[in-house]
Structure 1
Amino acid sequence: MKNTGDIFEMIIESMDKDKMIATKAVPSTRSFLDTKKDEAHDWTTHEEEGQLAIDVAEVGNDIVVTTTVAGADTKRIEVFVHNDVLTIRGVRHSPLEQKAQVSYFHKECFWGAFSRTVVLPIDVKGDLARAEYTSGVLSVWIPKQQQGAKIPVTIIDE
């Protein structure tokens, strides 16, 4: 039987060899980006839509979806309900986007187009939905669809 220290040394040596092989076979990220820079289009110029964080709750006979849309033009917020799918879309504009020579020290806020589509947990009456905007918070109230009723079976003697 081999000494346990020898087994661990063998495992570590094997891992070191695998690491050396892997690093030689795969170029570093920096060199890959440098060589591919001219070949690919500049993906940073394409504007992506941000995704909203949402809360979905049941309040009485309604499903309520709440999200923060602070900074969005309230006239351009769109809310769609189709069957059991809710979509919220809009655009947030930074108060600094029109200023010249803006240089950020730290930037976490999302500015630009946003959207969120969610499948609701139960059937709803989308045509009766209503949306409320208060202090940067959008709440969409959608009445729940009446659940199927239990139908009694009447036995008829023949």
Structure 2
Amino acid sequence: MKDSRSFFEKLTGSSRIEHQLEENPGPALAKATRLPAQSSNWPDAGEEGELTVDVFQTPDEIVIQSTVAGVKPDDLDVTITQDMVTLKGKRQKTNEVSEKDFYYKELYWGTFSRSILLPQEVDADAAQATLKNGLITIKLPKLDKQRTQRLKVKME
């Protein structure tokens, strides 16, 4: 009999439900529909989740974007230095569901943070952050390293 599992399935020992349904649909279907959700791999209480981010540049700015759906602007804290941005926040559950009633439990609830080392220095005082449709966008104007300024020497 030919093993039709994918490389990933062989590597991890996982199995698609289609394979289980082909072999014996009864137990596989019961397993998929009746078992409570397994604990997720999210951090335990007291630990923080880490946001995923996109960081890119325009000619004048470094832009950071991250999905923070379900988080209110008041629950977000953005700190900026010339070479780093830290985004912290908390996603709070709006309802309580018993563990035994879950089929899937993949959403992250709790505190999260992410520090991003910037590829170049920015003007922290001119930075802007907006939240729209669950996406935070932080725009950081680049500092012009080529710009020079002459100082006039005063006699004392």
What range is the shorter-chain TM-score in? 0.5 to 0.7
Q: 1:146 to 1:54 in 2, by over 3 A?
A: same
Question: Tell me, which stretches of 5 or more residues in structure 2 are unaligned?
Answer: 1-42, 149-156
Q: Secondary structure at the match of 2:71?
A: coil
Q: Which is richer in helix?
A: 1
- The structure with the larger Rg is 1
For these two proteins, the number of residue pairs brought into alignment is: 106
Question: Tell me, which stretches of 5 or more residues in structure 1 are unaligned?
Answer: 1-43, 151-158
2:83 aligned with 1:112, yes or no? no
2:61 aligned with 1:62, yes or no? yes
Give the alignment's TM-score, normalised by structure 2: 0.62
Counterpart position of 1:73: 72
2:98 aligned with 1:101, yes or no? yes
Q: Secondary structure at the match of 1:79?
A: strand
What CA deviation, in whole Å up to 9, does each residue of 1:77-108 have, x standing for no partner? 11110120100011001232xx3535321111
How many percent identity over aligned positions?
Answer: 31
Counterpart position of 1:84: 83
Counterpart position of 2:131: 133
Larger mean CA deviation between 141-150 and 116-125 belongs to: 141-150
Give the alignment's TM-score, normalised by structure 1: 0.61
Q: Secondary structure at the match of 1:139?
A: strand
What CA deviation, in whole Å up to 9, does each residue of 1:101-148 have, x standing for no partner? 353211111110010001000110011100010000000000000023
Counterpart position of 1:148: 146
1:2-13 to 2 correspondences below 5 Å? none
Once residues 133 and 91 of structure 2 are traced to their aligned partners in structure 1, the CA distance between those partners, rounded to angstroms, is 15
Once residues 131 and 62 of structure 2 are traced to their aligned partners in structure 1, the CA distance between those partners, rounded to angstroms, is 16
After superposition, the CA RMSD in angstroms is 2.0
Once residues 44 and 129 of structure 2 are traced to their aligned partners in structure 1, the CA distance between those partners, rounded to angstroms, is 33
Question: What letter matches 2:72 in structure 1?
Answer: D
Q: Secondary structure at the match of 1:118?
A: strand
